[in-house]
Amino acid sequence: MLDPQAQALLDLMKKRGVPATNELTPIEARQAYRDRRFYTQPDPPAVGNVQDLSADGPHGPIPLRSYRPAGSDVETVLPALIYFHGGGWVIGDLDTHDVLCRELCNLSGCAVIAVDYRIGPEHRFPAAIDDAIAATHWVWRQAAGLCIDPARVALGGDSAGGNISAAVCIALRDAPWAPGVQPAFQLLVYPATDMRAVAPSHTENGQGYLLTSDVIAYFRSHYLDEAQYTDWRASPLLAETLAGLPPALVLTAGFDPLRDEGLAYANALSAAGVPCQYVCFARQIHGFLPMGRVLDEARTAVRLCADVLRQHLSTP
């Protein structure tokens, strides 16, 4: 059964004639995504400090936003979460996930550094991955100035951001140019892990639940070419090995086309000997995590993510 609150949200969007993302241009879709957050997301909680930063990247400067928890001293060395927003590699930015980053920051006690990586179609694959790797490396280099402990840094993200987080962890594991840049944990929220979109949930949940097969096709077409679907940077599930990666929490939604990809990735991590927890919010839709104003289970999921981060990053 679909969560009644999620059903009510879908019904309201249908009643109001909210166009599907694939019916809009990327510029229109980005604005619609920004506007929708005011209805579905809670009011932004106060945090201890917010600062806009910039990291050097291979394609130019990468905007970042740093958060520190309410009540924390600016000079206290904290664990940190580097967060990559969702949005199908086409929409989303620092503002669309500002509330979520604030919530995770306060509830986990971690600093959060959000990354505004380049998106398509203006910047196609692998620009987003390139930016994410560069931003992560920059955070390690600037750890002292940011007052974060480089031994207690997690990578995380939702949807496309979960995909990017997984790919960056693999890249860093194999990167001789970044010795010591090794995340302590992965937070993967309904991640896209196989661009081929062949899992059964793509058929089972392909229509009617906000993220449809048509929307997925729209995102993929703006981000990468079909010949790139099997590149592990796009499809981390297809990496040669997942051994040696950081421990992970993989969270999925039951009425999500990406559900089975997330489960498959969690199983593959476990099979490779990586400590991995898997939780499915069986009655939820894709993209529910930031929607705490209208979905009670979103608030529960955010607290769960924050609790797991706190547990894994509390000690070096």
- So what's the architecture of 4-313 in CATH? 3-Layer(aba) Sandwich (3.40)
**Annotated catalytic residue, options 98, 256, 260, 312:** 256
Residue 170 has pLDDT above 70, yes or no: yes
At 316, the pLDDT band (50, 70, 90 cuts) reads low
Structure tokens at 155: 């990578």
43-73 burial, b at 16+ Cβ within 10 Å, e below that, comes to: eeeebbebeebebebeeeebbbbbbbbeebe
Residue 308 has pLDDT above 90, yes or no: yes
Q: Taking residues 166-176, what's their average pLDDT?
A: 92
pLDDT at 180: 73
**Annotated catalytic residue, options 85, 97, 137, 286:** 286
Residues 6+ apart with CB under 8 A from 217: 22
Q: What are phi and psi of 39, to 5 degrees?
A: -85, -40
Q: Taking residues 128-154, what's their average pLDDT?
A: 97
Residue 314 has pLDDT above 90, yes or no: no
DSSP string computed for 224-292: --GGGTTSTTT-GGGSS--TTPPPEEEEEEEE-TTHHHHHHHHHHHHHTT--EEEEEEEEEETT-TT-T
Residue 279 DSSP SS3 = strand
Q: How far is CA 175 from CA 127, 134, 179, in A?
A: 17, 12, 7
Question: How does the average pLDDT of the chain come out, rounded?
Answer: 97
Residue 53 has pLDDT above 70, yes or no: yes
Instruction: Count the residues in the chain.
Output: 316
pLDDT at 315: 73
Residue ranges of domains in the chain? 4-313
Closest CA relative to residue 119, chosen from 78, 86, 76: 86
pLDDT at 175: 84
Radius of gyration for the chain, computed over Cα atoms and rounded to the nearest angstrom: 18
Q: Taking residues 144-169, what's their average pLDDT?
A: 97
**Annotated catalytic residue, options 66, 72, 108, 159:** 159
Residue indicated by tokens 């904290």? 78
256 annotated active-site: yes
Q: How many CB atoms lie within 10 A of CB 156?
A: 25
Per cent of the chain over pLDDT 70 is 98
Question: Do strands 49-55 and 62-68 pair parallel, antiparallel, or not at all (unpaired)?
Answer: antiparallel
At 181, the pLDDT band (50, 70, 90 cuts) reads confident
286 annotated active-site: yes
Residues 6+ apart with CB under 8 A from 180: 140, 150
pLDDT in tens, 191-237: 999 999 999 999 999 999 999 999 999 999 999 999 999 999 999 99
In angstroms, rounded to a whole number, what is the distance separating the alpha carbons of residues 274 and 283?
A: 27
Q: Taking residues 284-301, what's their average pLDDT?
A: 98
85 annotated active-site: no
Residues 6+ apart with CB under 8 A from 43: 99
Q: How many CB atoms lie within 10 A of CB 96?
A: 20
pLDDT at 2: 98
Q: What are phi and psi of 218, to 5 degrees?
A: -60, -50
Q: Taking residues 25-38, what's their average pLDDT?
A: 97
pLDDT at 36: 94
Please tell me the pTM assigned to this model: 0.97
Residue 127 has pLDDT above 90, yes or no: yes
In angstroms, rounded to a whole number, what is the distance separating the alpha carbons of residues 168 and 137?
A: 10
Q: Taking residues 10-36, what's their average pLDDT?
A: 97
In angstroms, rounded to a whole number, what is the distance separating the alpha carbons of residues 119 and 93?
A: 9
**Higher-pLDDT residue of 227, 177:** 227
pLDDT at 142: 97
pLDDT in tens, 247-283: 999 999 999 999 999 999 999 999 999 999 999 999 9
pLDDT at 178: 65
Q: Taking residues 5-18, what's their average pLDDT?
A: 97
